[in-house]
Structure 1
């Protein structure tokens, strides 16, 4: 039985604030239903004696020494900035008065 319905996809679109056409709703209904079915199949096979894994090959981090190097001066940092004032980057305001 299908768990994913067109109404559920439309509801998810509203929650995500995504406007979906009727074609997109139909396509996503099938795709999401296939995803849910595949997750259910994996859940059926998963057993407590099989350890969970996030990657098939063991990974390890490669670290480098944390050594302070030459740092840029303020003038070097600001030399390519499109606009600067008082030793700072100057940017256009993005928040309106309602914020």
Structure 2
């Protein structure tokens, strides 16, 4: 089924996409959009009965680890790397007067 994309449609899509297309670009966009819609029609002809909907082609699993604090109470060793410290914290130069 051939889709005919007219100049009004290209103008509307250009406004939505905030594109300024010259004449050659409009003609190319018409052909491209027609091919895309033809391909969608071709996909719609496939029998998808019994096919489960999916969001990804490959199975996706949660790969995040549990947020567990490890070595969180090692302040003294951490402050050994600081050029200067005060009251158990990094001491930095004053930045606001």
Q: Which residue of 1 aligns with 2:30?
A: 29
Q: Could you list the runs of 5+ residues in structure 2 that have no partner in the other structure?
A: 73-88
After TM superposition, list the pairs within 5 Å mapping 1:44-63 onto structure 2.
Answer: 44-63=45-64
How far residue 16 of structure 1 moved from its aligned partner, in angstroms, is 2.7
1:10 is aligned to 2:11: yes
Which has the larger displacement, 44-53 or 22-31? 44-53
Give the distance between the partners of 1:10 and 1:46, measured in 2 at CA.
35
Q: Which residue of 1 aligns with 2:77?
A: none
> Higher RCO, 1 or 2 (CA under 8 Å, sep at least 6)?
2
Q: Which residue of 1 aligns with 2:65?
A: 64
What is the number of residues matched between the two proteins?
A: 76
Aligned partner of residue 18 in structure 2, secondary structure: coil
Give the distance between the partners of 1:47 and 1:2, measured in 2 at CA.
23
Give the distance between the partners of 1:7 and 1:61, measured in 2 at CA.
45
Aligned-residue Cα RMSD (Å) equals 2.8
TM-score for both structures, normalised by structure 1? 0.58
Q: Quick check: which has more Rg, 1 or 2?
A: 2
Give the distance between the partners of 1:42 and 1:54, measured in 2 at CA.
17
Q: Could you list the runs of 5+ residues in structure 1 that have no partner in the other structure?
A: 77-83, 87-99
